[in-house]
Amino acid sequence: MTSPTSDAGPVMTRRDWAALLTIGFGVSLVIMDATIVNVALPVVIEDLDMTATEAQWMNAVYALVFAALLITVGRIGDLKGRRLLFLIGLILFMVASVFAGLAVNAHMLIGARFVQGVGAAMILPTTLSSMNALFVGRARVIAFAVYGSAIGGMAAIGPLLGGWLATDVSWRWAFWLNIPVGLLVAFGIVRSLPETRDPNAQPSGDYLAIILTMVGMGATVFALIESRNYGWWRTDSGTISPVPIVLAVGLVSLLLFVLHERRRRVAGKPVLVDLTLFLIPTFSAGMLAALIVALGEFGLLFTLPLLLQGALGYTALQTGWIILALAMGTFLISSVLPRLSDQLSQRSVVQIGLALETVAVGALALLISRNVPAWHLVVCLFVYGVGVGMATAQLTSLLLKDVPVDESGQASGLQSSARQLGSALGVAVLGGLLIANLGRTTEANLKALSLPGETVDKLTKAVADSAGIAIEGLQRQQGSTAIADAATDAMIHASQLTTGFAALALFIGLLATFRLPKSTDSEETPPAG
């Protein structure tokens, strides 16, 4: 599909819009499902009797398998056809959603989320590389603005839907909602989306690289999440912890992956990842920024609902309404992004967005308290949403801008892998930081009440294992006001620390954007396939 041109440049036709809406809804489905369970998480924890670690895995496994497969499926899409892979991934995603909604225990739910991640890994890079091939000029600016809005907006609308469903219907519909939306997207794929592929792509046969990336990413995230259960060096029973060993395996696997790919390229053999893409300044700097920003963004969306419902007394629906402010900020700024892009460089737009995110999350860390007014939270999240809308759309467009169209599938897979790895690390790092500090501070606060050691241990375990959800029960019990206050204060302290860390991550992401060139103007490359 090539958009017709006018004196002002390429314009959007009706078929362009149909294809773009199909891509937008497909991306929305994937992104929304990454966040929709966040607000419903406390209800899911109670209903399925999940531990805090299982709750982390429910979110992290989705992002983890997503990240591990994106590089591979991006190349498959280039070879076999991006529309075909999009449709196959969508069907797999919907089937897994049915089983997620039917889950009777944590293991079944985590397994279904794993399969959802496989389907999502097929959807995201194929949509992005299709869009990169189909749109040029002014149409490209519009397309990426819509795409960025879908990512940022659905990341926030997901919690609102999750809160409403958990409160008034059932958390299971947070997954079953994917079916009608998925059928709509499937119709759009068949009717409106052209097939594109890379005519020069060749199968790499690089199976060792696939194994190394999966082991590297999986082992690294596993170590970060399970460090709380096993300890970093020794377990509670005094035996050697497997965590540092698993982490070392992950990091060494990623290093071997890089060395292996370099050797194959020097030998003239096909590779899974063309590492020369990282020699493109816009791509390498954008990749680093995307990973760090995703860590801060998705880590915050995992931990904030636990605070609001576990310690501050908000219902799932009320929490969803508060987080909706994030979506409002994102949608508001998306309407003016094309005009803003005419006035400022893409790098400036990204930097302003990240600066707003950093300030908003930093203010949130300072404002969190037992009696913080809801409107304070709403203002912070609204500003944060404006920043997300500015940074996400333009960062995606910027890091792909100088990538040859024939390499768009691979580049899309890499940038999406960076985002999803950042998301998994966000849940692992920020979730682990929240739970670890919640446990330590709860124990210290309860000991200050001169409670028996056995009671302190029992209450601390209940609060930490539930990721703070048990605090609500303590607040309802008569005669346990002091205990509830001790646990509530611990949750607030842990949330302040975690949110502050998220702000720091966003600030580092902002610093990374200064490696981007000030101007990325280049001659438009004609669409492929």
Give the tens place of pLDDT for each residue, 318-339: 888 888 888 788 777 877 776 7
- CA distances to 67, 216, 226, 397, 419 from 290, in Å: 13, 19, 25, 12, 6
DSSP 278: G
Domain boundaries, the chain: 12-204+272-440+494-515, 205-271
Mean of pLDDT over the chain: 77
DSSP 241: P
- Quick one: average pLDDT of 216-220? 79
Q: What integer pLDDT is reported at residue 34 of this predicted model?
A: 66
Confidence tier at 5 by pLDDT (50, 70, 90): very low
SS3 21: helix
- CA distances to 32, 116, 159 from 181, in Å: 11, 15, 17
Judge contact between 306 and 487, C-beta under 8 A. Answer: no
- Quick one: average pLDDT of 263-288? 79
Provide the CA 243 distance to its chain's centre, in angstroms: 24
CA distance 432 to 426: 9
- Quick one: average pLDDT of 232-248? 74
Q: What integer pLDDT is reported at residue 525 of this predicted model?
A: 39
Is it the case that residue 94 has pLDDT exceeding 90? yes
Is it the case that residue 521 has pLDDT exceeding 50? no
Tell me the range of 220-229, 293-302, 372-381 where mean pLDDT is highest: 372-381
Domain covering 12-204+272-440+494-515 assigned CATH 3.40.50.2300 in the classification: no
Confidence tier at 379 by pLDDT (50, 70, 90): very high
Is it the case that residue 207 has pLDDT exceeding 90? no
CA distance 168 to 101: 16
Element (H, E) at 270: none
Whole-prediction pTM? 0.70
- Quick one: average pLDDT of 6-33? 71
Q: What integer pLDDT is reported at residue 413 of this predicted model?
A: 63
Judge contact between 41 and 427, C-beta under 8 A. Answer: no
CB atoms within 10 A of CB 439: 19
The amino acid at residue 89 is: G
- Quick one: average pLDDT of 117-142? 76
Tell me the range of 49-63, 88-102, 503-517 where mean pLDDT is highest: 88-102
* Whole-number CA gyration radius for the chain: 23
- Quick one: average pLDDT of 278-304? 77
- Quick one: average pLDDT of 475-494? 78
Q: What integer pLDDT is reported at residue 96 of this predicted model?
A: 93
Q: What integer pLDDT is reported at residue 360 of this predicted model?
A: 92
- Quick one: average pLDDT of 298-303? 74
Q: What integer pLDDT is reported at residue 250 of this predicted model?
A: 86
Weakest-pLDDT range from 184-193, 372-381, 452-461: 452-461
CB atoms within 10 A of CB 363: 17
More confident residue, 483 or 251: 251
More confident residue, 520 or 111: 111
Q: What integer pLDDT is reported at residue 252 of this predicted model?
A: 93
Q: What integer pLDDT is reported at residue 529 of this predicted model?
A: 37
Q: For 342-358, write each residue's pLDDT tens digit.
A: 777 777 888 888 899 99
Judge contact between 100 and 109, C-beta under 8 A. Answer: yes
Judge contact between 234 and 241, C-beta under 8 A. Answer: yes
- Quick one: average pLDDT of 370-394? 85
